[in-house]
Structure 1
Amino acid sequence: MHVKHLLLIAILALTAACSSKEVVDENLSEAELYQQAQADLDSKSYTSAVAKLKALESRYPFGRYAEQAQLELIYANYKNAEPEAAKSAAERFIRLHPQHANVDYAYYLKGLASFDQDRGLVARFLPLDMTKRDPGAARDSYNEFAQLTSRYPNSRYAPDAKQRMVYLRNLLAAYEVHVAHYYLKRQAYVAAANRGRYVVENFQESPAVGDGLAVMTEAYQHLGMDDLAATSLETLKLNYPDNPSLEDGQFVPRETDDDNRSWLARATLGLIENDDPLPPGQTRASQDVIRQYEDAQEDIPAELLPENQDEVREQEHEASANSDRSWFSYMTFGLFD
């Protein structure tokens, strides 16, 4: 199903790329341009609306519809899935009209453009974990909504902006926890502890605070800082007793303390590791594919397996054994095996 969706996206993108740029009639008056742009917005023809609004602004820069056209150009670019163009138009409107009665709308649309920047067509059809993606756009959106709520606290858009800020704050906190777990896995315990403390200090009241405390506890345990580990653990038990790192009140670390890696692996935080040599003809990718196949095979429900499953497995075992026979065994039909 995902493949069909991706093919549809590719076809739409190709169609849009191949379509010719719309030419706006030069004989249209200011009012006619504005009316046609409004009709395009109503019919969701955002590309055509953008072209007409740009023409209106360039041909009649001091007309009665100039400021409104600049404001609606932000919306048209946003709805046309052009976040950078929408933010650029919003910044321009804010710079040119800081005292405009609807400048709060420009701030709001600027935040929305960043908010949806990572949620394009692909993200709608694929199960992407937003907490593991680059938080740049999320951080920009949070800051832009913060400007709106601080400068215009009574704006009609402030309540929605505040709700989005809560979501973005939780997302940024979860991203920091993912980074901390990465450091734990790479046995960079000082960096992991610092990330966990950053979450606890800067994202209070977010769900990720408990995970930050768990990271701190584990990192301090690995570092031998028993007092700090005990303090973090007591705070975790007191405030987040249902955290996944606690089982029956006991802390369960995610990573072991055995560090039998080479000096190169430790120096590069595990980015360069000396793995055991692979068998001839195999690669890491092929091993991953085989492992995924075996895991998927084990997850097949029993009711979906064929009735002669035991015979199939026996035949597979015999085929595997035969594949290891020498040419002499084949020539003698296995009499001397």
Structure 2
Amino acid sequence: MLNLLKYPLAALALALLTACSGNEELPDIAADAGEQQMYQEAQRHLNNRNFDLAVRALQMLESRYPFGKHAEQAQLELIYAHYGAYEHEAAVEAADRFIRLHPQHPNVDYAYYMKGLAAYTGNEDVFARFLPTDITKRDTSNAKEAFAEFAQLVSRFPDSPYAADAKSRMVYLRNLLARHEINVANYYFRRGAYLAATNRGRYVVENFQRTPAVADGLAVMAQGYLILGMNDLANDAIDTLAMNYPDHPALNEQGEFDTVYTADGLQRSWVNKATFGLFDPPQPPQFDTRPMKF
């Protein structure tokens, strides 16, 4: 058995957990409680934002009265309760179950919306909620899933009261996914995988039109094609960049591409050359214009 006197941090953690659990009210639903009473108890926990207790109360209600008058509503509210308890996978499963059981329900659009919302926040953890992180550099599988779910909602239920919010989130997710591609391209530049970097930039330009990342996608293409010696393609990308985003930092005052790399290799400053590479080393390309507004 763990000696808590030897491990004060463990003792403190156990004390906090004990205190939290001691303050948590367990569902005091009698074995012979009626459906209405059980539903009101679940509503009380939802209103008090005691989502863990709400989940248990709603599950108990459904198990005792699977065909009662509150059964379908309880299944809908169970989705929200799971979501509120940060049980995102469980929320998605509950939404899938409701859609499967009640495809013609008048509120089935809510299930689709909550399914997207749960996927939307599915990769959040306790640290992400308190520490600043660049989510465009994290895994985007949840973002792609959420975009698909919101797109399905908007397509199937264009007049849904949740459609407008879903569209707004889709715009945000699309911008996020485009920026992620630019971050990957920057990584490939650092690794010397120039063709892979160029392809990422082209993918953004071709598939994420009207996103802020398109400007950096063109810059990635220009830089990549210059490195690869594909000057005609590089000039096309530079002309498009200069025409649409003349203030992009990759362009100088004359509208020329201020390249770091050419087909001959790194562009070295005179300081770097004079010191035989000891000072002012050239840095690999890095395109990120998020602080700017074109």
Structure index of larger Rg: 1
Q: Does 1:32 align with 2:37?
A: yes
User: More helix by proportion, 1 or 2?
Assistant: 1
Partners of 1:239 and 1:89 in 2: how far apart?
Answer: 46
Partners of 1:234 and 1:176 in 2: how far apart?
Answer: 22
Query: Which residue identity is paired with 2:77?
Result: E
The answer for the alignment partner of 1:113 in structure 2 is 118
Instruction: Give the superposition deviation at 1:112.
Output: 0.8
Structure 2 vs 1, CA of residues 41 and 18 (structure 1 numbering), >3 Å: closer, same or farther? closer
Structure 2 vs 1, CA of residues 227 and 243 (structure 1 numbering), >3 Å: closer, same or farther? same
| Contact residue 184 and residue 255 of structure 1 kept, 8 A | no
The answer for the alignment partner of 1:126 in structure 2 is 131
Structure 2 vs 1, CA of residues 218 and 45 (structure 1 numbering), >3 Å: closer, same or farther? same
User: What SS does the aligned partner of 1:134 have?
Assistant: coil
The answer for the alignment partner of 1:57 in structure 2 is 62
Q: Does 1:233 align with 2:238?
A: yes
The answer for the alignment partner of 1:143 in structure 2 is 148
| Contact residue 227 and residue 265 of structure 2 kept, 8 A | no
Partners of 1:104 and 1:11 in 2: how far apart?
Answer: 42
RMSD of aligned residue pairs (Cα, Å): 2.5
- Give the number of aligned pairs: 251
The answer for the alignment partner of 1:250 in structure 2 is 256
Aligned sequence identity (%): 58
User: What SS does the aligned partner of 1:25 have?
Assistant: coil
Instruction: Give the superposition deviation at 1:252.
Output: 2.3
| Contact residue 83 and residue 118 of structure 2 kept, 8 A | yes
The TM-score normalised by the length of structure 2 is 0.80
Partners of 1:214 and 1:16 in 2: how far apart?
Answer: 56
1:1-337 alignment, distance < 5 Å: 15=17, 19=21, 22=26, 24-248=29-253, 249-254=255-260
The TM-score normalised by the length of structure 1 is 0.70
Deviations, residues 85-117 of structure 1 (Å, cap 9, x unaligned): 111100110111110000000011111111122
| Contact residue 227 and residue 261 of structure 2 kept, 8 A | no
- Listed as ranges, the gaps of 5+ residues in structure 1 are 1-6, 261-337
Structure 2 vs 1, CA of residues 39 and 255 (structure 1 numbering), >3 Å: closer, same or farther? farther
Instruction: Give the superposition deviation at 1:253.
Output: 3.1
The answer for the alignment partner of 1:285 in structure 2 is none
Partners of 2:174 and 2:19 in 1: how far apart?
Answer: 36
Query: Which residue identity is paired with 1:105?
Result: Y
| Contact residue 226 and residue 263 of structure 2 kept, 8 A | no
Instruction: Give the superposition deviation at 1:254.
Output: 4.8
- Listed as ranges, the gaps of 5+ residues in structure 2 are 1-8, 267-294
Instruction: Give the superposition deviation at 1:190.
Output: 1.3
